Amino acid sequence: MPLLVRHLLAVLFAAICATIVLAGPVPPFTASGISFAGLGVYCDEDDTQTEAAPGTSLGYVHILRNQPRIAFSQQEVPARLGVHFGVVVVSDRDIAVVRNETWKPGATRPEVWFTELAAKVPRARGFVFELEDELVTGIWRMDAFDGDLLLYSVEWEVKPASDLPGISSNCDLLS
């Protein structure tokens, strides 16, 4: 192969790779009968309880009793302690066992926990940065399954906190 052709192919390959790397999170996906009532960084809610989730790093998940207030409808999230992000999902049917997966950047397997969805009842699914070692920048992904059927998938781009200085889950600071 001539040197000029190899050079052009290398430049083209580099441009494609740069586009993929700089693309950020892909748009959210929902299966038929599933919708989002909200998506983004949400307010820190006092109305929570915990539920055992042995397939997660902490061994539990927070359960919101009410629908959270989405403060910032976006897929960019600051890596800052106390920040909550996720989705409010609505199903058109009851789903008795939903497998929730959260993929962190560089993980070889997801954190997994199981819940349910009741028809027409909004349910929050998310993550909160509680520990320093959770502040991993890069693309995070939240998926939910009914058996092998993907119900939804959302990617989040977690960025250094300094890149998103005004984004917080402390809604008392927001006007």
Q: 100: phi > 0 → left, psi -120 to 50 → alpha, else beta; which?
A: beta
Question: Structure tokens of 148?
Answer: 């092998």
Span 147-159, average pLDDT:
98
Rounded to the nearest integer, the mean pLDDT of the chain is: 86
Entry pTM: 0.82
User: Are 161 and 78 in contact, with CB atoms under 8 Å apart?
Assistant: yes
Structural domains of the chain in order of their starting residue, each with its CATH number: 26-173 (2.60.40.2390)
Instruction: Locate 95 and state its tokens.
Output: 């789903």
Q: Residue 54: what pLDDT?
A: 87
- Average confidence (pLDDT) over 82-111: 96
Residues 7-49: tens digit of each pLDDT: 444 445 544 544 445 568 999 999 999 999 999 999 887 767 7
pLDDT digits (tens, 9 = 90+) for 37-81: 999 999 887 767 788 888 888 888 877 777 889 999 999 999 999
- Give the pLDDT of residue 1: 62
- Report the alpha-carbon distance of residue 154 to residue 26 in Å, rounded: 8
